[in-house]
Amino acid sequence: MARAGPSRTQRSQKAPQPSQSQSQRPVRGSRRAPVEEEEEEENSGDDDDQGMDINGSQARLAESDADVELDRKASDLVRFALFMEQRRTLIRREDINKKVLGSNSRLFNSVLERAQKLLKKTFAMELVELQSRNYREQDNVVAGDDLQEARNATGVKKKTAAAGSKTYILRSVLDPIIIEEAARTDERLYEEQIADCQEDGDDDDDMPRSYGCIISWSTADQVGALGVLHVILAIILASGRSMTDLELRAHLKRLGLSSNESISMNTQSTHKSLPIDTYLGQLMKQGYIDRIKLGDTKAAGGKRGRAPAATQANQDENQAFEWHWGHRSYSEIGEQAIATFVAEFMVERNRDNDGEDDDDDGKAARDRGKGRARAGDGGGDKKVKNVYGAIERAAGGNLSDVK
């Protein structure tokens, strides 16, 4: 009897069995998914690296552009400072922001730092911020140790004035010894300059004066005007750091500089001469001297008097004002330099007077040049110190160096 096969329902329920070849063949898509995920991860990693490279290059490019812009602003500041200094005009921070920085006023410190490096490396100069008058006067008052100790003991605190005035000037950073040697007269160089001038046959009025030194004073500065400035500063310093307008004019008159006299200028100036009143007004604008109204409570706050006018020679008005050093003189010249200048000049002058009868001694004194008192035995240095000490006592206290 034949075996009965599975029923139709059993055949339909029985799952088909794969063949041997089919069981060994990998199932499609079983391993492709992980591979595609790995490829996508690698591609995404490459995209991230490319994005980082692009961002890094853009950052470097932006930083490079910022450096170029800072260098350009620094060069503009140097050019602006040199132009203003040639006219002896004070450099104000608001002018720097307006004419150099524009809308980038926040970059002032960065631009100033780069400009300082460029000035020192190329021109041996630096930008110096002038001290405010309030701070300078407060500093002179607080210089007394007893007063300061008393304030500390009682706990009284005095409001400190701002040190900076947001006003700048250009000042040389050359060593004073280098400047002194460059200004020293050399006899051989002096003779060669005189011979060259005679061969050229130039007119005496247009011919620059020969000094026989490396520095060309005739074409660089107004030597006569600078000499008058130093004399004025010396008179004010030796008068206790201030003097009335009437006293100053009396001293100038003794030197042959009355109100109707003029100061000669060289060919570099637009004027061949300036009246003394005009010159005093110019010194005020340049910051070398100040003219303050006596009895004015705001004078300590920095209020200046008007520039002197030739038509206002009334004695009562002259007595109502007094002259002081300007903040530029403190930062550019200094009290110690003026006192040394006066002391050396007086000692050298006395030495020349003592040696008038002896030509050799007179020539030896002139060869020292520019009023420098240098005696081999040290006697000249001692005399200079004595005169310097007398000027310091007349000024009313310790003399300050450039600030």
DSSP conformation letters of 302-344: TPPPPPP-TT---HHHHHTEEEEE-HHHHHHT-HHHHHHHHHH
For residue 235, what are the CA distances in angstroms to 244, 250, 254, 255?
11, 11, 12, 12
| Local confidence band at 312 (pLDDT 50, 70, 90 cut-offs) | very low
Residue range 171-188: average pLDDT?
87
pLDDT value of residue 179: 85
Residue 81 has pLDDT above 60, yes or no: yes
Which one is predicted more confidently, 352 or 30? Answer: 352
DSSP H or E stretch at residue 170: strand 164-172
CA torsion 41-43-45-51 (nearest 10°) is -150
Q: At which residue do the structure tokens 């040696």 appear?
A: 355
Cβ count near 127 (within 10 Å): 19
Amino acid at 206: D
Among 33-37, 187-191, 369-373, the range scoring the smallest mean pLDDT is 369-373
| Local confidence band at 320 (pLDDT 50, 70, 90 cut-offs) | confident
pLDDT value of residue 192: 83
* DSSP state letter for 19: P
Residue 190 has pLDDT above 70, yes or no: yes
Which one is predicted more confidently, 83 or 352? Answer: 83
Burial label for 28, CB within 10 Å (0-12, 13-18, 19+), is exposed
| Local confidence band at 336 (pLDDT 50, 70, 90 cut-offs) | very high
* DSSP state letter for 124: S
pLDDT value of residue 220: 64
How many Cα atoms within 13 Å fall on the side-chain side of residue 161? 18
* DSSP state letter for 391: H
pTM, whole model, 2 decimals? 0.69
Residue range 110-138: average pLDDT?
88
Residue 101 has pLDDT above 50, yes or no: yes
* Residue 172, beta-bridge partner list: 125
Range list of H helices, 201-242: 217-220, 223-238
pLDDT value of residue 316: 47
pLDDT value of residue 46: 57
Which one is predicted more confidently, 355 or 258? Answer: 258
What is the average pLDDT score of the chain?
Answer: 75
Q: Measured between alpha carbons, how far is 119 from 127 in angstroms, rounded to an integer?
A: 8
Which one is predicted more confidently, 165 or 24? Answer: 165
Residue 221 has pLDDT above 80, yes or no: no
Cβ 101 vs Cβ 110: under 8 Å = no
Q: Measured between alpha carbons, how far is 335 from 330 in angstroms, rounded to an integer?
A: 7
Which one is predicted more confidently, 321 or 12? Answer: 321
Residue 47 has pLDDT above 50, yes or no: yes
% residues pLDDT > 90 (the chain): 35
Residue 154 has pLDDT above 60, yes or no: no
Cβ 68 vs Cβ 107: under 8 Å = no
Residue 302 has pLDDT above 50, yes or no: no
Cβ 35 vs Cβ 28: under 8 Å = no
| Local confidence band at 60 (pLDDT 50, 70, 90 cut-offs) | low
